[in-house]
Structure 1
Amino acid sequence: MTKLEEAIRLREAGRHAEAQTLLLDLVREEPLVPSNWYQCAWIHDAMGLEKEAAPFYEKALELGLADEERRGAWLGLGSTYRTLGEYESARACFRQAIREYPEAREFQVFYAMTLYNLGEHALAMELMLRQLGETSGDEGIASYKKAILYYADKLDRIWK
């Protein structure tokens, strides 16, 4: 088992401090491996250390993180910025992530939360309603899907 695999195993087992120590060692020993930086960001997030996590996400993306890890890093970084009150940075992250992964609905949801924080309530609600209408398996929601999607961008309209 590699050090990285061991660190992931420790994180998954809830042994965060041990995983953090191992991952910090890894980024020092192998600073050009984007996965090391990503996993280091993840453990800091898991420990509630969002401010410390952000630079690790940034470095992982800068180093060319790929595939599912890249997708996770965009979500982690954008979400971290949002929780730190850095809403414009979060908006930029989610916009980039949506460009790279247009089919990934999770980015629309987190983007909507960011728009809410920025006071863009109508657009935030529209995005959330679209996600709800297009993905819900709930029988009641599904039966009103057409109406939910129709009204998603017309919440302020009054019909007379």
Structure 2
Amino acid sequence: MRDDELARAVRLREQGQREEARTILLELAERHPDDAEVAYQTAWVHDALGLEAEAVPFYERALADQGLDDRLGAFTGLGSTLRVLGRHREALETFTRGLEEFPGDPGLRTFMAMALYNEGRAREAVGSLLKLVAESGQVGRYRRAVEYYAENLDETI
């Protein structure tokens, strides 16, 4: 029953029927308060509806369970949501925790750069993005230069 309802809610969310999905997920969350997957999906649907503040406790509940299948998605979702809510320090703490579990993840690093920028740490944000771009191989023969300037951004002639 729980699995069928959860699958139905996810399908509805993916099909753009977010309010219907939210109704099902809130009922599931009430019946299964310790279910990390239900909490995660409930957080996700709230984010999709622009209800970020309501998503936070569900993300936190999901991450409290080490067994959550998509912990990377939950860290990314929670950190991004906290950033959007203006809770930049908490976002940075969340991204840091996520990177401890998923070292080097490009998505977490990208969202963390945005939070660094929001915290007034623009130099650190740009430097981290330059490292990410260099690692991606998208700058070809300029990789070494980009890596250098990621650490020495203020250097000019």
TM-score for both structures, normalised by structure 1: 0.92
In the alignment, which residue of structure 2 is the partner of 1:131?
Answer: 132
Q: Which amino acid aligns with 1:54?
A: V
Match of 2:140 in 1: 142
Amino acid at match of 1:154: N
- Contact 1:71-1:97 within 8 A present in 2 as well: yes
- How far residue 64 of structure 1 moved from its aligned partner, in angstroms, is 3.1
| 2:62–2:68 CA contact under 8 A, matched in 1 | no
Corresponding position: 1:101 with 2:99: no
Offset at residue 103 of structure 1 (A): 3.3
Instruction: Give 5+ residue unaligned stretches, structure 2.
Output: none
Deviation digits for residues 82-132 of structure 1, max 9, x if unmatched?
000000100100011111100311111111111100111111111000111
Aligned residue number for residue 79 of structure 2? 78
Aligned to 2:46: 44
For 2:111, the equivalent position in structure 1 comes to 110
Q: Distance in 2 between matches of 1:95 and 1:74?
A: 9
- Detail structure 1 runs of 4+ shifted over 6 Å in the superposition: none
Distance across 2 between alignment mates of 1:130 and 1:102:
14
Offset at residue 79 of structure 1 (A):
0.3
Paired letter, 1:148: V
- Range that drifts further, 149-158 or 78-87: 149-158
The answer to whether 1:26 aligns with 2:24 is no
State how many pairs are aligned: 155
**RMSD (Å) for aligned C-alpha atoms:** 1.3
